[in-house]
Copies of this chain bind each other. A is one copy, B any other.
Amino acid sequence: MSPNYLRSLLSTPTENGEAERDPLFVQSIARAMEVLSIFHQVDRPLSLQEIASMTGLGRSNVQRIVFTLRSLGYITRDPDDRGYVPGLRLLDHSLDFLRLNPVVVKATPILLELRRAVRERVDLSIWDDLRLVYASRLQSKREILTSTFLGYSVPVFCVSGGWAILSQLDEDEVSDIIERSHRAPLTPLTITDPDLLKDKIRETRENGYALALEQILPGEIAIGAAILDQAQRPVAAIHVAGSLAEWTPEEFTRQFAPLLIQAARTISRG
């Protein structure tokens, strides 16, 4: 979700300085979505002016876009503070995504079953280039408030599920992804060195699952396995996550790895 991503789609400059565009591309849709996407970067309501300056769109234009999105329910006025915030109607579309995504649909019942067996947090996340997006979370009994939210995403290079996915790709792709990732450590133990990461991925490939210790949260242990599509390409991952206060890594994997692998296999085949 780099801010430049959409920008680059809005106009593609060529070497002669001209802006060349795909004639099939509808600009105004991209502009509207760019307005909605501006909220990715902030954590408070925004005014029209702010949206205008952040998107680089004209004031009038932003006004019309916001007016339109507002009358459709995709943007709301914040009741307390003044300003605009994303609207409830966005959830409807997420539901459509979840309902219609074959992986999510196939995985959900199996994850519930897995959850019943392991009694720890279980989740499904979908691979999107450099990140993994949580599409389904089944909490454990004691859950901290961090990111219970669906749609939350984490870098693919530093989570168990990410390693599991990378372990299904060839060396070149792995290197490419690792290079392009913004490898900021999230905990003191986060592995960021490309070579160490490749070791981890090799290990994952041999085991059939990935074991991650405190990579994104202190005190957290997680194991992950990849979900493959028909063509044996990884498309998603499932995780079981627990607390190091309760588990040794050995015990954790001994208990859960077979179940996890089994679940991942079941989801993968059609």
Contact = CB atoms under 8 A, between A and B. Distances in A.
A150 B99 CA distance: 10
A54 interface: no
B116 A142 contact: yes
Contact of A86 (B43, B97, B112): B97
Contacts of A270: 80
A36 B32 CA distance: 14
Tell me the number of copies of this protein.
Answer: 2
Contacts of A87: 97
Nearest to A60: B24
Contacts of A44: 100
Interface stretch (A131-139, A209-217, A237-245): A131-139
A93 B93 contact: yes
Given A36-B93, A88-B126, A139-B139, A28 B28 contact: yes
Interface string A65-86: 1011101101000111000011
Given A24-B63, A28-B29, A102 B90 contact: no
4 A-B pairs with least C-beta separation:
A95-B151, A91-B151, A94-B94, A39-B96
